[in-house]
Structure 1
């Protein structure tokens, strides 16, 4: 089962994410947020809300209650791995 074990905000709508399979990549959430059909997801367009996240239940969760499955987050990776 895939888990997020570390996450660091790096700028804009990007978070450096480390998974329990040893991969660390930059996940870009911008397209997900800007095309979100649910108001709770669109709230993350406010960069201060987006930056207010924590690791809970093996994934990234935001203060407004939004979370995404680790498998979904891994699909948001940029092709360039982030520095470890």
Structure 2
């Protein structure tokens, strides 16, 4: 079963509001708020804005990560993000 979720091309953190601007391989850009995620134990360290700003696109665009312990798939980013025009 292919989900056909586009790959992540770039990610830009907006640490003031704990959100990300994510550009996908299909040309769509989404804003992803992580405010609710910060209450989950796996993401709570992202409350540190210095760490939050260190987000990077994973090789192949299959998601994003902050370090070896904190990451998010392109599928989740696609589904929780809101499409924006830039």
TM-score after normalising by structure 2 = 0.76
Q: Distance in 2 between matches of 1:62 and 1:82?
A: 25
TM-score after normalising by structure 1 = 0.78
**Count of matched residue positions in the alignment of Structure 1 and Structure 2:** 79
1:18 aligned partner: 23
Match of 1:67 among 50, 71, 74: 71
Higher strand share: 1
Is the 8 Å Cα contact of residues 13 and 52 (structure 2) preserved in structure 1?
no
Q: Report the Cα offset of residue 26 of structure 1.
A: 0.8
4+ residue runs over 2 A deviation: none
Deviations, residues 24-49 of structure 1 (Å, cap 9, x unaligned): 01111111122x0x3x4211121221
Is the 8 Å Cα contact of residues 12 and 47 (structure 1) preserved in structure 2?
no
1:81 aligned partner: 84
Q: Distance in 1 between matches of 2:46 and 2:68?
A: 8
2:8 aligned partner: 4
2:45 aligned partner: 43
